Structure 1
Amino acid sequence: MAAATDIWQAASPRRRCSAARRPRRKDVAAGSPETESEADSGVVLRRLREAGEDLLISDFWSSALETIGGCLRKHLEQLKTSVGTLSDTLGNLYLDPSPEESDVAPDSIPRETLVVGTCHWKCVCYGIGNFATCVIARNQLTFLLLFLEKCQIPRSHCLVYDPLFSQLEIATLNALGVAVLSENEEGKRSICGNPTIFYMLHCGTALYNNLLWSNWSVDALSKMIIIGNSFKGLEERLLTRILQKNYPYIAKILKGLEELELPQTSQYMDIFNDTSIHWFPVQKLKLLSTDTWVFQEEPDYQDCEDLEIIRNKMKGPSAADVNSR
């Protein structure tokens, strides 16, 4: 297993279709905007690496992995039942330390992984925030990158979007090898049959409601995992009539999911507070009334106050077109 610092190295450049040619390094004069941008990106990568080193040795990291691992075990067994052969689809789940665990260097990622083998997981991250300047956002991104490594999900299989990303942050994410979406989907992404983990910490409630609407079927929901704001917490904080009127898909799915809260530690209290991992057991989904699935009206939030998400005001192809990529 590669050392932990390898996660923060720039990935090999991906081929891009562009009429403009990026200037070669030798063509760029010292002190130019290009070199300044590269220097800034280097600072951000260094801060991410430092945050990763702190996270790896924290009690929160080991406890969070144990919580998430318990959920993944159940979810993978569900997928095994639905497709027949787990190894053909997602690989084998393995959470026990390898025999060589005692030989791992202190700066290495522990050799136990959440998922190994041929794995077709995809990951979508919404609303991570301005990680170049915000410590909370930077730690949340750090957790995501380490989580991808643990689950052996290639970074190229992780889609990331926040409407507030700066050009520096987009360049940094590209250097890390994750895919940055170019359009604000407002969370309206269909998984198209692919088992997908959505990483959505501290996002607006409408984003979760939109995501559920886009995957409103037993088959799709049973293939999804959401790491984000506690749905139980939403139920407790919002009046029932407000939840049912403004966020009907969240209201309807509360009896069809299982939720595990991520552990709370003082070091990461402000970063992962109110965060849970959610999955949707088939047996629970099938117990929901038929009327639950008949209602499939697209959310519009015209009468909703304090929406807490940035709407897509651009004209052109819809978010559904992006999902086909």
Structure 2
Amino acid sequence: MASGRMAAAAREFSWQAAAPRRRRAVGRRSRRGEAEPGGSRAEPEADGGGVLRRLREAEEDLRISDFWSSALETISQCLRKQREQLTATLPEALGGLSLGSSAGPGGGERPAAAAGTGCVKCVCYGIGNFASCGIARTQLAFLLLLLGKCGVPRSHCCVYDPVLSPAETEVLAALGVTVLGENEEGKRSVRGERTVFYMPHCGTALYNNLLWSNWSVDALSRILIVGNSFRGLEERLLTKILQKSYRYLAQIQGGLEELALPETPQYTDVFNDTSVHWFPLTKLEGLPGDLWAAPQEPDYQDCEDLEIVRKQAASPPDHSS
């Protein structure tokens, strides 16, 4: 019964336009015990319907913000460039991506050409405990807005974070996204499909693993990554650590285009150091040819502060009996 109520709430969340919410006054102090917008203070985990209501509020706050319009334009610009280069080289393999919208039921946004999204996928890693954390909830709201604006069906979006609670997994399922049951450690191949990877504030190894899994000109040209600035990672890490432990991040710096999401006081803790990365064919083809030969899987055996949850190794069979 509870699942049925949550599914109904999710449908309402997806299609009905919420009443306009007032912008919070600049410089307004929060009352004691009140979370700041996008704040990191832990909150009690609400029931599924309560989480959906909070998500809806976070989405509406984002939708009316200057940050959202600017961030969407940045992502859209990269997606258009990526689409143009793939259309020019492999038009038969390209799934369409709608960047326009029209009014949907209840006045909400509806993708103008959702039927043309074919092989466009989205993968989200590291969304966090959105039921109890304002930052994670705002990041999830951003993902849902992005899917709707770009015409990517939620069924084409996979989400995974090892910290998700059963209640949060149920909420995500009610929202229509696919919750992965296995820790991929970021090692997902796009297999010829255009894929947007949404990875806010993930560990460095997760980005390195993703690059390794798609270490070819063809695969990388189909990827767009919204996550930690690769340029910032390169600047913060010692060169010897970057080249030894995160060699794919080190080697791809000359083959990508990076655009930072706008900085805004309202979402400083939510999207700080976040950039959009895509891989122009001209840059990839300009890298040394031997760079692509026999890529070795990262192991991180001597790496400190790995910042990701490793996949649990299977237990050996018990032959004692």
Which residue of the partner structure matches residue 91 of structure 1? Answer: 96
Taking the aligned partners of 1:242 and 1:195, their CA distance within structure 2 comes to: 31
Give the SS at the match of 1:227.
strand
After superposition, where does 1:83-232 map in structure 2 within 5 Å?
83-84=90-91, 89-91=94-96, 93-95=98-100, 108-110=107-109, 117-119=115-117, 120-232=119-231
Which residue of the partner structure matches residue 303 of structure 2? Answer: 304
Letter in 2 for 1:300: D
Taking the aligned partners of 2:307 and 2:211, their CA distance within structure 1 comes to: 17
Deviation at 1:84, TM superposition (A): 2.6
Count of residues in correspondence between the two structures: 276
Deviation at 1:112, TM superposition (A): 7.5
Taking the aligned partners of 1:306 and 1:148, their CA distance within structure 2 comes to: 33
TM-score normalised by structure 2 residue count: 0.81
Deviation at 1:264, TM superposition (A): 1.0
The 3 A distance-change label for structure 1 pair 305 and 154 is same
Taking the aligned partners of 2:14 and 2:152, their CA distance within structure 1 comes to: 16
Identity level (%): 62
Deviation at 1:315, TM superposition (A): 1.5
Which residue of the partner structure matches residue 8 of structure 1? Answer: 13
Tell me whether 1:77 sits opposite 2:84 in the alignment.
Answer: yes
Taking the aligned partners of 2:96 and 2:289, their CA distance within structure 1 comes to: 34
Aligned partners of 1:92 and 1:117 also within 8 Å:
no
Deviation at 1:90, TM superposition (A): 2.5
Taking the aligned partners of 1:132 and 1:258, their CA distance within structure 2 comes to: 34
Taking the aligned partners of 2:260 and 2:295, their CA distance within structure 1 comes to: 29
Aligned partners of 1:7 and 1:145 also within 8 Å:
no
Aligned partners of 1:188 and 1:210 also within 8 Å:
yes
TM-score normalised by structure 1 residue count: 0.80
Deviation at 1:220, TM superposition (A): 0.4
Taking the aligned partners of 1:121 and 1:297, their CA distance within structure 2 comes to: 28
Taking the aligned partners of 1:148 and 1:73, their CA distance within structure 2 comes to: 15
Deviation at 1:147, TM superposition (A): 0.4
Give the SS at the match of 2:162.
coil
Taking the aligned partners of 1:110 and 1:71, their CA distance within structure 2 comes to: 21
Letter in 1 for 2:74: T
Runs of 5+ consecutive residues of structure 1 not aligned to the other structure? 11-38, 317-325
The 3 A distance-change label for structure 1 pair 218 and 152 is same
RMSD: 2.3
Equivalent position to 1:43, from 43, 50, 53 = 50
Aligned partners of 2:130 and 2:136 also within 8 Å:
yes
Give the ranges of 4+ consecutive aligned residues of structure 1 lying more than 3 Å apart after TM superposition: 92-95, 107-113
Taking the aligned partners of 1:295 and 1:253, their CA distance within structure 2 comes to: 15
Aligned partners of 1:64 and 1:263 also within 8 Å:
yes
Taking the aligned partners of 1:92 and 1:161, their CA distance within structure 2 comes to: 23
Partner deviation per Cα, 1:97-124 (whole Å, 9 max, x = no partner): 76xx8xx99x8445686x7551121000
The 3 A distance-change label for structure 1 pair 248 and 61 is same
The 3 A distance-change label for structure 1 pair 125 and 112 is closer
Runs of 5+ consecutive residues of structure 2 not aligned to the other structure? 1-9, 16-45, 316-321
Aligned partners of 1:243 and 1:251 also within 8 Å:
yes
The 3 A distance-change label for structure 1 pair 46 and 236 is same
Taking the aligned partners of 1:44 and 1:137, their CA distance within structure 2 comes to: 12
Aligned partners of 1:199 and 1:228 also within 8 Å:
yes
The 3 A distance-change label for structure 1 pair 9 and 74 is closer
Which residue of the partner structure matches residue 53 of structure 1? Answer: 60
Equivalent position to 2:73, from 54, 66, 72 = 66
Aligned partners of 1:260 and 1:276 also within 8 Å:
yes
Deviation at 1:311, TM superposition (A): 0.3
